[in-house]
């Protein structure tokens, strides 16, 4: 799978379900103290009531899911900034296509697709508690997926943008499409009139249309218009969300369904790597999930983990549930290691070992967070990066604006090499990710938050 991918508190009670996360709505103002998630309770029944009961306020968020998403996006911004650094450990970045190893960056995209699946059951529960029909819910799934696909296609075409034949310089086109995204999908404050919202959204659609018409690409020396290609990071998230949310909507909380689909995706990957599916090559360019099965596998693993944890907590077997998840981690890790001699561990080649090992890492990390955050109630540490969970899409898009402005300013705007080398450079990239998240938090407080 090609390389990919911060506000502080939750959206108004009537806000749409929150952007990339697939979770429950958030408030744009700090949550009142009496609504905040209390310290963990020792009783398993009390834990389920506190976290999952439909009788609870539908705006409740599961803190461990928020923490997982926030950390994952923080790491995504961090690893996407490694290109600007020199002399940093190779294990922080992506392993090469021919290498048999796993870098930190190779685990981030799988973790994000995992959190997409992990959050789906909570989002569906919220919609049920509001009385939304399956038809309305499915319409929302389709509209959100379509929005992510549109944004992903525009962004992936930045790679082939022809700066010579195009009317606009690439940085201005990049700023333009990002501004259009904000105009179209901004979660406008309730103080805005319906007419004002429609005008701004219409302006965004017009701007995006004009920028599409002005696009000129260059692929292998040939002039091209916009192509879906691999759909970009947001696009593959959109496809994965569409499949995962649709299956959950119509299948319900059937563990066998999600477990079966995960296994099927891994078997599909093995068959593909073995060369048994070459007859599908003519249609792979048009049917994205026929590539390697990895995207759906990560999303199904997230849904499976979420459903299993909710079920065992409801039955008063929280500790046993954690043990079951830990056992799943060991099984997946063992299977990934066992398959390594055949195709190696490689994100670039989407190998089965990479799928299994990254899924095991994601589940293991979630076990740690649900114990720390949900059961022990330790949440203060994540306050600084909480915007990465409540304004996820905003956080993801902000670096595009920064990079475009940086390119407009020229190489003279670069930091001194000493600040981009080794440990100092790593610290710089970590600070950059944190600053992006805090800017998104400030924007959310000002009512500027993207939501789908």
Instruction: Summarize pLDDT for 12-65 with one digit per residue, the tens.
Output: 333 433 434 443 333 333 433 333 333 334 444 455 454 554 444 334 568 899
Provide the 3-class DSSP secondary structure of residue 450: strand
Residue 411 is predicted with a pLDDT of 64
Q: Is residue 13 part of a domain?
A: no
What percentage of the chain exceeds 90 in pLDDT? 56
CB distance 173 to 211 below 8 Å: yes
Residue 412 is predicted with a pLDDT of 59
Q: Is residue 12 part of a domain?
A: no
Q: Is residue 11 part of a domain?
A: no
Residue 413 is predicted with a pLDDT of 66
Measured CA to CA, the distance from residue 184 to residue 356 in angstroms comes to: 37
Q: Is residue 101 part of a domain?
A: yes
Measured CA to CA, the distance from residue 377 to residue 386 in angstroms comes to: 15
Instruction: Summarize pLDDT for 71-98 with one digit per residue, the tens.
Output: 999 999 999 999 889 999 999 999 988 8
Helix (H) or strand (E) holding 364: helix 352-369
Helix (H) or strand (E) holding 232: helix 232-251
Q: Is residue 289 part of a domain?
A: yes
Mean pLDDT score of the chain: 84
Name the residue range of residue 92's domain: 19-445
Residue 144 is predicted with a pLDDT of 94
Provide the 3-class DSSP secondary structure of residue 167: coil
Residue 47 token pair: 């834990």
Instruction: Summarize pLDDT for 126-170 with one digit per residue, the tens.
Output: 888 888 888 999 999 999 999 999 999 999 999 999 888 888 999
Identify the CA nearest to 4 among candidates 112, 150, 118: 112
Q: Is residue 2 part of a domain?
A: no
Instruction: Summarize pLDDT for 346-389 with one digit per residue, the tens.
Output: 999 999 999 999 999 999 999 999 899 988 889 899 999 999 99
Q: What is the tally of structural domains in the chain?
A: 1
Q: Is residue 6 part of a domain?
A: no
Residue 8 has pLDDT above 60, yes or no: no
CB distance 64 to 370 below 8 Å: yes
Provide the 3-class DSSP secondary structure of residue 222: strand
Q: Is residue 293 part of a domain?
A: yes
């Amino acid at each position: 799978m090609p390389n990919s991918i911060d506000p502080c508190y939750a959206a108004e009670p009537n806000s749409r379900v929150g952007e990339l996360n697939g979770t429950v709505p958030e408030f744009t103002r700090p949550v009142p103290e009496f609504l905040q998630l209390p310290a963990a309770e020792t009783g398993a029944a009390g834990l389920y009531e506190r976290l999952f009961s439909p009788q609870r306020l539908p705006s409740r968020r599961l803190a461990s899911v928020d923490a997982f998403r926030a950390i994952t996006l923080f790491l995504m911004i961090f690893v996407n900034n490694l290109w600007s650094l020199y002399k940093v450990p190779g294990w922080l970045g992506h392993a090469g296509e021919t290498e048999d190893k796993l870098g930190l960056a190779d685990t981030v995209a799988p973790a994000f697709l995992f959190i997409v699946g992990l959050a789906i059951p909570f989002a569906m529960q919220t919609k049920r508690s509001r009385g939304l029909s399956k038809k309305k819910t499915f319409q929302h799934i389709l509209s959100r997926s379509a929005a992510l696909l549109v944004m992903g296609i525009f962004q992936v075409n930045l790679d082939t943008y022809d700066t010579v034949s195009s009317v606009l310089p690439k940085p201005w086109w990049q700023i333009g499409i990002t501004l259009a995204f904000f105009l179209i999908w901004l979660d406008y404050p309730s103080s805005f009139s319906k007419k004002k919202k429609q005008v701004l959204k219409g302006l965004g659609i017009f701007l995006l249309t004009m920028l599409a018409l002005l696009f000129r690409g260059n692929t292998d020396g040939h002039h091209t218009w916009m192509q879906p290609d691999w759909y970009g990071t947001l696009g593959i998230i959109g496809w994965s969300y569409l499949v995962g949310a649709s299956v959950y909507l119509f299948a319900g909380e059937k563990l066998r369904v999600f477990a079966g689909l995960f296994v099927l995706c891994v078997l599909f990957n093995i068959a593909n790597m073995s060369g048994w599916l070459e007859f599908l090559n003519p249609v792979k360019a048009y049917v994205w999930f026929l590539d390697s099965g990895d995207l759906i596998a990560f999303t199904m693993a997230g849904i499976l983990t979420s459903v299993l944890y909710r079920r065992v907590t409801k039955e008063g077997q929280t500790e046993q549930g954690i043990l079951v998840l830990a056992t799943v981690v060991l099984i997946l890790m063992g299977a990934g290691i066992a398959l390594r001699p055949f195709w190696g561990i490689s994100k670039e080649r989407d190998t089965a070992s990479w799928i299994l090992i990254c899924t095991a890492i994601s589940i293991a990390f979630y076990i740690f967070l649900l114990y720390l955050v949900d059961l022990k109630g330790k949440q203060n540490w994540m306050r600084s990066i909480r915007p990465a969970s409540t304004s996820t899409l905003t956080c993801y898009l902000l670096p595009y604006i920064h990079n475009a402005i940086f390119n407009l300013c020229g190489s003279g705007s670069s930091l001194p090499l000493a600040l981009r080398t080794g440990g100092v450079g790593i610290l710089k990239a970590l600070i950059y990710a944190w600053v992006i998240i805090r800017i998104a938090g400030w924007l959310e407080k000002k009512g500027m938050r993207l939501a789908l």
